[in-house]
Amino acid sequence: MLGTVLDIDGGFKREKRHSPIPQAACNLIWELKPTQMMRRKNNNKHYFTRMSTRKKVHAFVRVRPTDDFAHEVIRYGDDNKSIDIHLKKDTRRGVVNNQQTDWSFKLDGVLHDASQDLVYETVAKDVISQALDGYNGTIMCYGQTGAGKTYTMTGATENYKHRGILPRALQQVFRMIEERPTHAITVRVSYLEIYNESLFDLLSTLPYVGPSVTPMTIVENPQGVFIKGLSVHLTSQEEDAFSLLFEGETNRIIASHTMNKNSSRSHCIFTIYVEAHSRTLSDEKYITSKINLVDLAGSERLGKSGSEGRVLKEATYINKSLSFLEQAIIALGDQKRDHIPFRQCKLTHALKDSLGGNCNMVLVTNIYGDAAQLEETLSSLRFASRMKLVTTEPAINEKYDAERMVKNLEKELVLLKQELAIHDSLANRSLVNYDPMDEIQIAEINSQVRRYLEGTLDEIDIINLRQIQEVFNQFRVVLSQQEQEVECALRRKYTLIDKNDFAAISAVQKAGLMDVDGHLVGEPDGQGFGLGVAPFSAKPGKKAKSKKTFKEQLSSSARKEGASSPVGGKDLDVSISKTQLTPSSKDGDVKDMLLRDRETSNIEPPSLDSPKEELRPPRPSTPPSKPVAFEDFKNERGSEINRIFKENKSILNERRKRASETTQRINAIKQEIDMTKEALNFQKSLREKQGEYENQGLMIIDEEEFLLILKLKDLKKQYRTEYQDLRDLRAEIQYCQHLVDQCRHRLLTEFDIWYNESFFIPEDMQVALKPGSSIRPGMIPVSRIMSLGEDDQDKFSQLQQTMLPEGPDSISFYNAKVKTEQKHKYLKTMMGLQQTQRK
């Protein structure tokens, strides 16, 4: 094995025949072993090539047949996988590197005198075959003009035998499609030419249904790179595909005349797009792939040797695009580089997802075998050896058919729903609905949550996951509503000062309403209900946090009481003097009065005898007992709820009374039925003793017995009617009872809020305004609701039930009256309830 030394330009200097390795070159000892872990040195930095499933780009060299092959200079390795170049120093001096005369290039194969057939087999067959399995493939021909790139790629269009890679690839694709009846495979093609950094559609002359964008642009999206405006043609058979290819070739030639283009100075990219859907599986996955067949422009460096005008321009563009291609390839070969300069020119940009990446990549370097072309040949071989360093990670392009996916998911959904239904029926759960909830159902859950929080509902039954989630959601809704309500209630009643709003505080202090410690003037040691103060510059919308004026003593007693029942049991019925508590101030009163006060006396601060006492109805130093306060509440803010409550109760009592009457009647009827039955039995036994007689098959009975039978029949009918009435009444009673409970609870809840607001606001406010506070105004224990006593109305109704004012005759009269009245009341109450619920 020969030791090889990498020359700076990428070739290999053969060591054997020549002097020992120079010291500097020793650093660059390098062996090309594609799949082994390799250590390379570059600028004294060590790095490693990953040993993985990555694949090297395959680089082949095709030598153009010539009668004048430079046997002396060009030699192939024994395995036909390397080319050695040897130059006689004296003869070529000055043309190539003055020092170097030997190079060795390792390749994947040298194609010398190879038929088009062999070239295709060696170079393209596998790439095309894998494309049908979803791998992208790129085959590129590189080399100087006339070296045979076009011959390799397209071949002789007039001679079938000499057809190139392109037509053969199309043939292979369609043959493979035929072999795969299980898949619906579509083939599309496009043909792009890049000339002087401009894009040309070589198939633009064909009818095409699709967006035609001019000028064409290269667009990148998550799916890859595509050329906007380039026509992509669906082909269902080989022949159509060939027609497209020939059309493109013809256009290429025509353009070279009409547009004065030199066809060897342009890059051509023929792309075959494959998309395969399974016919048998309802799989939503499908595969796509793209085969790029690239015929690059001549790589000779024309610019060097005094070209001018059009030629110079072309040369500049070609030099640029090919050197950008080379740069991109060097970057791709360097695994430490994470940025690849693809966007420097149209060629690399258009091929961004076809160079390296997940593609199978093959390079065919076309060279002359003539000694005269050695300089360009060396340059081409260097390019090939660089390309060989590039690794790719071929991967299948799998995509999802959204429409099929939706269909499959829908099927799955139906199946799962059926599964659920079976589960439910096995678990004796009937009529569980798993559909998304509508507004009414959500409102019902909201009401359940409210009742649960209030204590009127012991537990919320679990129905399904959706319902559980909605319950949690409604908890959040109710909580935030309650927080807002508390704050609004406080704001309605009090002007709050933000403790951090120094301007507001100082304004209040200036007005003499608060001392420096935040205590209200006139309240020694800061005791008293200080929050009724109106700061003149208090900003609305800011959360108030003042707590200094809170009376500690009171607070503790308030806490104790607040924690217990608002109204103790039967206390409600106890009549208590109303003089203990005057109604609390109405909204805005405090502020208005304070302002009025300022108007009348600008200089004098308000009297030290607690300005509040003059400004608002006096607040007692200790809050009134709850029963007393409750009486006031019922006359004041709770009057409407109280009225509804009472009305509901009177309806309830009336129903109860009727139910008891009906029961009495039923009992009386039952007694009579029993008596009649007895009498009838007696008559029957009498008849039997006296001997029966028949007439024409009919039993003959006497009149008395006949009347008894009629009576019994009548009684039974009455019994049934009354019994039905009673059942209806019981249902009504149950319903009314529910309404009464609800009203009672609401009354107490509202009272609780009112009571706390009226007498304990400082502390409540502190709690309420803390973010994330768990305050739930109006919450009272269930036991309290249950133990709430009946009021006077109750007693009166009970009295009515036992004693009628004007004897039994008045029953129907009163009944009718009460009925009419209560029907109206009932309707009114229901409307009222609905309104309050809506609120």
Q: Does 256 bind ligand ADP (CB under 6 A)?
A: no
Q: Taking the complex as a whole, how short is the minimal distance between the CB of residue 370 and ligand ADP, in angstroms?
A: 12
Q: What angle do the packed helices 703-759 and 465-493 form, to 10 degrees?
A: 50
How far is 547 from 680, CA to CA, in rounded Å?
A: 86
Binding map of ligand ADP across residues 797-826, x = CB under 6 A, - = no contact:
------------------------------
Residues 135, 359 contacting (CB under 8 angstroms): yes
Which of 64, 744 has the CB closer to ligand ADP?
64
Which of 149, 655 has the CB closer to Mg ion?
149
How far is 231 from 208, CA to CA, in rounded Å?
A: 7
How far is 207 from 644, CA to CA, in rounded Å?
A: 81
Sequence-ordered list of residues with C-beta below 8 angstroms from that of 203, at least 6 positions apart, any chain: 189, 190, 191, 231, 233, 244, 247, 248, 251
Sequence-ordered list of residues with C-beta below 8 angstroms from that of 395, at least 6 positions apart, any chain: 135, 358
How far is 429 from 223, CA to CA, in rounded Å?
A: 48
DSSP 91-117: HHBTTB-SS--EEEEE-SEEEES--HH
Which of 145, 650 has the CB closer to Mg ion?
145
Residue of minimal CB distance from ligand ADP? 148
Q: Taking the complex as a whole, how short is the minimal distance between the CB of residue 292 and ligand ADP, in angstroms?
A: 17
Which of 150, 354 has the CB closer to Mg ion?
150
Q: Taking the complex as a whole, how short is the minimal distance between the CB of residue 61 and ligand ADP, in angstroms?
A: 12
Which of 149, 551 has the CB closer to Mg ion?
149
Q: H/E element holding 168?
A: helix 165-178
Which one of 56, 58, 149, 646 is in contact with ligand ADP (CB under 6 A)? 149
Which of 145, 549 has the CB closer to ligand ADP?
145
Q: H/E element holding 454?
A: helix 439-454
Which of 134, 155 has the CB closer to Mg ion?
155
Which one of 11, 298, 356, 623 is in contact with ligand ADP (CB under 6 A)? 298
How far is 151 from 665, CA to CA, in rounded Å?
A: 115
The answer to whether 562 is a known ligand-binding residue is: no
Residues 705, 684 contacting (CB under 8 angstroms): yes
Site for ligand ADP, residues 344 to 383, rule: CB under 6 A: 366
Q: Taking the complex as a whole, how short is the minimal distance between the CB of residue 229 and Mg ion, in angstroms?
A: 25
Which of 138, 366 has the CB closer to ligand ADP?
366
Q: Which stretch binds ligand ADP (CB under 6 A): 140-148, 495-503, 717-725, 818-826?
A: 140-148
Q: Taking the complex as a whole, how short is the minimal distance between the CB of residue 118 and ligand ADP, in angstroms?
A: 11
The answer to whether 144 is a known ligand-binding residue is: yes
The answer to whether 548 is a known ligand-binding residue is: no
How far is 264 from 486, CA to CA, in rounded Å?
A: 83
Which of 151, 273 has the CB closer to ligand ADP?
151
Which one of 150, 152, 271, 348 is in contact with Mg ion (CB under 5 A)? 150
Which of 370, 424 has the CB closer to Mg ion?
370
Q: Are strands 360-368 and 58-64 parallel, antiparallel or unpaired?
A: parallel
The answer to whether 228 is a known ligand-binding residue is: no
The answer to whether 836 is a known ligand-binding residue is: no
How far is 271 from 140, CA to CA, in rounded Å?
A: 12
Which of 107, 496 has the CB closer to ligand ADP?
107
Omega before 215 cis (within 30°)? Answer: yes
Which one of 4, 101, 190, 264 is in contact with ligand ADP (CB under 6 A)? 264
Q: Sign (positive/negative) of CA torsion 438, 444, 447, 452?
A: negative
Q: What angle do the packed helices 165-178 and 116-123 form, to 10 degrees?
A: 60
Which of 292, 366 has the CB closer to ligand ADP?
366
Which of 151, 645 has the CB closer to Mg ion?
151
Specify the amino acid at residue 654: E
DSSP 193-238: EEETTEEEETTTTS---S---SS-EEEEETTEEEEET---EEE-SH
Sequence-ordered list of residues with C-beta below 8 angstroms from that of 777, at least 6 positions apart, any chain: 482, 485, 486, 489, 752, 753, 756, 764, 768
**Cβ–Cβ contacts within 10 Å for residue 817, how many?**
11
Site for ligand ADP, residues 12 to 71, rule: CB under 6 A: 64-65
Q: Which stretch binds ligand ADP (CB under 6 A): 146-154, 252-260, 578-586, 677-685?
A: 146-154
Q: Taking the complex as a whole, how short is the minimal distance between the CB of residue 8 and ligand ADP, in angstroms?
A: 27
What 8-state DSSP symbol labels residue 806?
Answer: T
Q: Does 146 bind ligand ADP (CB under 6 A)?
A: yes
Q: What angle do the packed helices 703-759 and 626-635 form, to 10 degrees?
A: 110
Measured between its terminal Cα atoms, the distance across the chain in Å is 96
Total of chain residues touching Mg ion, rule CB under 5 A:
3
Q: Which does 298 bind (CB under 5 to 8 A by kind): Mg ion, ligand ADP, none?
A: ligand ADP
The answer to whether 303 is a known ligand-binding residue is: no
Which of 319, 506 has the CB closer to Mg ion?
319
Q: H/E element holding 190?
A: strand 183-195
Q: Which does 148 bind (CB under 5 to 8 A by kind): Mg ion, ligand ADP, none?
A: ligand ADP
Q: Which does 65 bind (CB under 5 to 8 A by kind): ligand ADP, Mg ion, none?
A: ligand ADP
Beta bridge partners, 189, equal 233, 272
Which one of 4, 122, 145, 299 is in contact with ligand ADP (CB under 6 A)? 145
Sequence-ordered list of residues with C-beta below 8 angstroms from that of 744, at least 6 positions apart, any chain: 645, 785, 788
Nearest to 202 by CA among 147, 131, 256, 262: 256
Q: Which does 289 bind (CB under 5 to 8 A by kind): Mg ion, ligand ADP, none?
A: none
Which one of 109, 148, 229, 528 is in contact with ligand ADP (CB under 6 A)? 148
Q: Does 265 bind ligand ADP (CB under 6 A)?
A: no
Residue of minimal CB distance from Mg ion? 150
How far is 216 from 227, CA to CA, in rounded Å?
A: 7
Site for Mg ion, residues 246 to 305, rule: CB under 5 A: 264
Q: Which stretch binds ligand ADP (CB under 6 A): 143-151, 247-255, 403-411, 535-543?
A: 143-151
Q: Taking the complex as a whole, how short is the minimal distance between the CB of residue 65 and ligand ADP, in angstroms?
A: 5
Q: Which does 356 bind (CB under 5 to 8 A by kind): ligand ADP, Mg ion, none?
A: none
Dihedrals phi, psi of 14, to nearest 5 degrees: -80, 130
Q: Which does 377 bind (CB under 5 to 8 A by kind): ligand ADP, Mg ion, none?
A: none
How far is 301 from 568, CA to CA, in rounded Å?
A: 105
- Structure tokens of 211? 């967006």
Which one of 11, 109, 137, 143 is in contact with ligand ADP (CB under 6 A)? 143
Residues 62, 365 contacting (CB under 8 angstroms): yes
- Structure tokens of 708? 């008894």
Q: Which does 324 bind (CB under 5 to 8 A by kind): Mg ion, ligand ADP, none?
A: none
Residue 424: helix, strand or coil by DSSP? helix
Q: Which does 777 bind (CB under 5 to 8 A by kind): Mg ion, ligand ADP, none?
A: none
Q: What angle do the packed helices 703-759 and 761-769 form, to 10 degrees?
A: 90
Q: Taking the complex as a whole, how short is the minimal distance between the CB of residue 141 and Mg ion, in angstroms?
A: 8
Q: Which does 366 bind (CB under 5 to 8 A by kind): ligand ADP, Mg ion, none?
A: ligand ADP
Residues 5, 29 contacting (CB under 8 angstroms): yes
Q: Taking the complex as a whole, how short is the minimal distance between the CB of residue 17 and ligand ADP, in angstroms?
A: 31
Q: Taking the complex as a whole, how short is the minimal distance between the CB of residue 232 and ligand ADP, in angstroms?
A: 25
Contact residues toward ligand ADP (CB under 6 A) are 64-65, 143, 145-151, 264, 298, 366
Contact residues toward Mg ion (CB under 5 A) are 149-150, 264
Q: Which residues are annotated as a binding site for ATP?
A: 143-150
Q: Which residues are annotated as a binding site?
A: 143-150
